[in-house]
Structure 1
């Protein structure tokens, strides 16, 4: 159609890291070749830093509180951005954490590396691994092929890989939502009791809504009034208790779908892209709640394209590729693999450490 401007509303939210990079690169090429103006609505600034010449920062009250170059905006409002729901680029966030964010704010890995930041990875406590869920020689139609994988009791497992690699299918099989075409899935729960012990947050929130109001959705599982009120306050939906779930915004639907599972005390919780469509503050609060569940003994299995979340929270990682399990292990071991083969990008901390390493 050859328009002079394209407006994109969170265009990379459901893409894996390599697909995101390719998409942004394509837009950058089109911008130069066709002299396009791009207007991008986004929670995640990282993919867009190199091509952004102006940012409009919107506060929770719907007002623009900054209009200008990105670097100056970060410098001026760094202390207030997370409260407003605006995520800083990860390079800038790490600079703040490492205490090397003096002006000018770093926006690239090279700029940050030259400041010699001290970055600490997650301290993962080694525990005895007691199998809780196990897939043995499992296949499902043409999607999964002869998969063998174990989820240990009390682990926080991240399932990663390219779009269409079988991540969601694997988790639905492990959760007992679908049955394998071949092989078997083992778990310690009786068939009738299984869904009292296993919770599942679907990738598409609408797929799990069962009632006609937000309040009924959270209370459906039998949670008491106080629990429902607390959960609705957390997810910012206490003013929408009578609204039909389908009338919520995409981000609100996602928070409601997670809330319906977090309000219960299942032994295992599966989450398919739980932070999709969330602003910085909501993402942090959501992940803190999930981490709290994990510390209390809940086994967490999370599908995500966000490697920063994997690096920060996961104790184990499973990488899928073309319907097969291509890697299992701790995240640090995954970062040493050829991650681009899984359509992944190493988290920024690992990239900086790699860039700083000079072979002897």
Structure 2
């Protein structure tokens, strides 16, 4: 009898690991959503999830996944597989976004109940949905052996004025009021330390909200005399150290209360889960009402931080550009331009002169 030789592969497990287990959160969520609609045998769920995982930043993953869901729902309503969409339907998708009502929560309805009763998509949302769909086809072309024509190449996208923002801005005095309300007047006293620390770190470190919410306690550190936060992902991908000013560091330590366990979220819920963006939106809306200030979302915090930094007498635009994680200096200067369009408006001068003339006429 011939003796069998044991091969090196004999010790390998019979079941190979699934590479999909390494997909980031937004890729896995999109995959599960599409599998429920198309099944595992359809290539769409795997290709769409792999495309999302291919993106560099968490923000881009989330934005593209949201935009792709809008596109997929539209194609399905027209009875066309998303991967089979041609230019005519792609251009119809553009028109659809201009008039279609958006999904909003049903007041008084069941938990998670949604209805298409909201206003049509804003210009930025329409541009994002079209960009997401186009990016998906660009990815298909890259991974395909035969090449895939992008049906969105000739589709016009909405023009979004980079110098305009619908987000209301706060002055530095209003920000001080806002922070004081978070520290002293939050309706839930147990959450005051968390609210105060979160807003201070978000504002003084000029962070995107998704970057901060993805940070863990172990990401706090020390470098060359500075307390720092090691960010896993910033805009465009990569890691970065953000110095934390003493005021924000003290508030952060007061909130953490000695919590140092690894793998814990830096800002977490009462049960230790990751604090999410909807919770931060609700927090900011509640604090704004108590402070008597306009309602706004977390994106406005970074806008205000950049605007206030640029307005300081000792401002260094190049330093602010790096602090804000802007690759292009023109992006940083747009924040200054938006402020100047308000502060330096000629309307104030002619309005004051007109008020004086009217007052003089009334006295005569």
TM-score by length of 2: 0.29
Greater relative CO (CA pairs within 8 A, separation 6+): 1
Of Structure 1 and Structure 2, which has the larger fraction of its residues in helix?
2
Instruction: Give the number of the structure whose alpha-carbon radius of gyration is greater.
Output: 2
Of Structure 1 and Structure 2, which has the larger fraction of its residues in strand?
1
